[in-house]
Structure 1
């Protein structure tokens, strides 16, 4: 439930910034079944822009379009799961399947043609190790 609420809050904040919206998606709040494109539209494009070309202004938001760093699928996964700099971590707010879907979407759009597909089980190794619980 916490993951759902966190994801909903992130998506609502990003949707307000999004330049293109999907009113049916927002109205239905079908977040667990969001496609990679819907996740990009409502979470990522507020910073990386609808065309994936990034932006510079109050911060630096790197281009995803024609980005050779996306050739290694691990790079965007690490960025989405853990964040870095101004990029927030979405590892606890999105499911592994959602992370795989949005990374697959970005790697096959905006002039990128990286067709090796990630699955949810490919994401798990990129989550930071959790410290053991006390008393165990």
Structure 2
């Protein structure tokens, strides 16, 4: 599912199969740690993507949503912080939760 389907083409809140908070103007995105954790581990209707994306890709996405989509935050993520956000044990994507 493209990101625009979940968070709207401009990062706006959408409601459909679930409620997806706005990326635009979201104060949780002021610091990269929040977005980094959600991208890697997922939360609620947002699936985990850490098993698909390497650290550089996660950092690039985090930097983008902090500095675009109506946000004017300073990109403050680091590759070390991305690596630290990964779970010690890989997430089993074959669980019922992800079917």
TM-score bin, normalised by smaller chain: 0.7 to 0.9
The runs of 5 or more residues in structure 1 that have no matched partner are 1-13, 15-42, 132-136
**Residue 38 of structure 1: aligned partner:** none
When normalised by structure 1's length, the TM-score is 0.61
Superposed CA deviations along residues 53-74 of structure 1, whole A, max 9, x for unmatched, are: 0201221011000111101210
Does residue 69 of the first structure (1) align with residue 28 of the second (2)?
yes
**Residue 7 of structure 1: aligned partner:** none
5 Å matches for 1:1-136? 14=1, 43-130=2-89
For the pair shown, the structure with the greater C-alpha radius of gyration is 1
Superposed CA deviations along residues 68-107 of structure 1, whole A, max 9, x for unmatched, are: 1101210011110100111000011101100000110000
Please state which structure has a larger fraction of its residues in helix: 1
Superposed CA deviations along residues 112-133 of structure 1, whole A, max 9, x for unmatched, are: 11113423333000001128xx
Residues 97, 119 of structure 1: 8 Å contact kept = no
When normalised by structure 2's length, the TM-score is 0.82
The runs of 5 or more residues in structure 2 that have no matched partner are 91-99
Residues 29, 66 of structure 2: 8 Å contact kept = yes
Residues 48, 63 of structure 1: 8 Å contact kept = yes
